[in-house]
C-alpha cells in the first residue's frame, strides 16, 4: 500500500508542477506550485522511510538492483524538488518525479546475500557513499538527456505551449554541472575510501572496476575543469558527461556481468 501511496503522491506532484508552467493556468501557477512541493516533500519522506531500512538492515547492506534503483529514484525526487525553486525548471521536475514514481514500485525486501553479513561501519559507509554518488551521476545523465532534447527542439524552431515545460538550455546546463560537481565529489570520496579496503586488485577481481572508475573520475574532472576554466557548454559538455557516465556504468555493471556470467566469480 505504501508503494502505491508514494507513486500517487509523486504523480500528483508532477501534474501540479506541469500545470504551474502551462500558460492556460498562469493565474493559478503559485497555488499549483505550493501543492506540488507539499506532495513531493511528503512522498520523499515516505520513500526514504520505506527505503533506508531495506538498504541498511541491522547487520549488513542490501545491494539489490531494486533497492539501488529506488535509491536513484529518491535522489531524482530530491533534485526535482530543489530544481523547482527555479520556475523554468518545473517542467523538468515533473518529468523527474514521474521517474521517481516508477522506481517506488521497486521497494521491497530483496533477500540479497549481503543483507545478513556483518559489515564494519567503514565498509557500510563506503558502499552508501558510492551508491549515493552513482545515483547523483545517474540523475545528471537524465538531465543531460533533457538538455539534448531541448537543443533539438531549439534547432527545429517549433513554438507550442509545451515549450513552457522546457527551461532555457543554459539553465539546464547549470543544473547538470551542479549535479556533476556533487557526484564528482562523492565519487572522489568513494574511490579514496574504497582503496583502503583493497589488498590485491587482481586477486580480488577489482582491477577492471577500479581502473574504469578511475577513468570515469578523470572524465568528470576534465568536464568540470573545462566548464569552470574554459567555459565548455552545449553538446561538448553534455556528451563528455554522458561518456563519463557510460564509463562508470561499465565499471560496475560491465565488470560484474563479465565476472559472474562469464568467469563465474565475484568481487572480494
Residue 236 is predicted with a pLDDT of 87
pTM of the shown model: 0.79
Residue 207 is predicted with a pLDDT of 60
Chain position carrying cell 524538488: 81
C-alpha cell at 3: 508503494
Domain locations along the chain: 1-119, 121-268
Residue 119 is predicted with a pLDDT of 60
For the chain, list residues with pLDDT below 70.
1, 58-63, 108-122, 154, 156-165, 196-208, 253-268
pLDDT per position as a tens digit, 256-265: 444 444 444 4
User: 121-156 and 65-83 are packed helices; what angle lies between their axes, rounded to 10 degrees?
Assistant: 60
Q: How far apart are CA 173 and CA 113, in angstroms?
A: 40
Q: How far apart are CA 160 and CA 73, in angstroms?
A: 30
Residue 261 is predicted with a pLDDT of 42
Query: Dihedral of the CA atoms 18, 19, 20, 24 (nearest 10)?
Result: 130
Question: What mean pLDDT is reported for the chain?
Answer: 80
Alpha-helical regions (H) of the chain: 2-21, 29-55, 65-83, 90-104, 121-156, 169-195, 207-230, 234-249, 255-257
Residue 26 is predicted with a pLDDT of 82
Dihedral sign for Cα 264, 71, 135, 201, please.
negative
Residue 172 is predicted with a pLDDT of 87
Indicate the length of the chain as a whole number: 268
Rounded to 5 degrees, what angle do the CA atoms 261, 264, 268 make? 110
C-alpha cell at 141: 545523465
User: 169-195 and 207-230 are packed helices; what angle lies between their axes, rounded to 10 degrees?
Assistant: 140
Residue 194 is predicted with a pLDDT of 72
Amino acid at each position: 500500500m505504501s508503494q502505491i501511496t508514494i507513486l500517487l503522491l509523486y504523480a500528483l506532484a508532477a501534474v501540479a508542477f506541469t500545470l504551474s508552467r502551462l500558460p492556460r493556468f498562469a493565474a493559478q501557477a503559485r497555488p499549483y506550485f505550493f501543492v506540488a512541493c507539499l506532495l513531493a516533500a511528503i512522498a520523499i519522506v515516505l520513500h526514504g522511510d520505506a527505503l533506508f531500512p531495506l538498504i541498511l538492515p541491522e547487520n549488513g547492506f542490501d545491494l539489490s538492483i531494486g533497492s539501488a534503483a529506488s535509491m536513484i529514484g529518491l535522489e531524482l525526487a530530491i533534485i526535482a524538488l530543489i530544481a523547482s525553486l527555479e520556475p523554468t525548471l518545473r517542467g523538468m521536475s515533473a518529468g523527474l518525479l514521474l521517474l521517481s514514481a516508477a522506481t517506488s514500485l521497486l521497494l521491497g525486501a530483496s533477500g540479497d546475500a549481503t543483507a545478513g553479513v556483518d559489515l564494519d561501519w567503514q565498509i557500510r559507509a563506503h558502499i552508501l557513499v558510492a551508491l549515493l554518488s552513482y545515483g547523483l551521476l545517474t540523475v545528471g545523465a537524465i538531465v543531460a538527456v533533457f538538455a539534448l532534447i531541448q537543443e533539438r527542439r531549439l534547432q527545429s524552431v517549433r513554438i507550442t505551449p509545451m515549450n513552457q515545460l522546457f527551461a532555457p538550455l543554459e539553465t539546464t546546463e547549470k543544473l547538470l554541472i551542479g549535479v556533476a560537481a556533487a557526484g564528482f565529489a562523492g565519487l572522489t570520496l568513494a574511490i579514496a575510501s574504497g582503496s583502503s579496503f583493497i589488498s590485491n586488485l587482481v586477486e580480488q577481481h577489482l582491477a577492471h572496476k577500479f581502473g574504469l572508475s578511475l577513468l570515469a573520475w578523470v572524465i568528470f574532472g576534465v568536464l568540470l575543469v573545462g566548464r569552470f576554466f574554459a567555459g565548455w557548454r552545449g553538446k561538448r559538455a553534455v556528451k563528455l558527461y554522458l561518456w563519463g557516465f557510460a564509463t562508470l556504468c561499465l565499471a560496475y555493471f560491465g565488470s560484474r556481468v563479465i565476472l559472474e556470467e562469464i568467469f563465474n566469480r565475484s568481487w572480494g
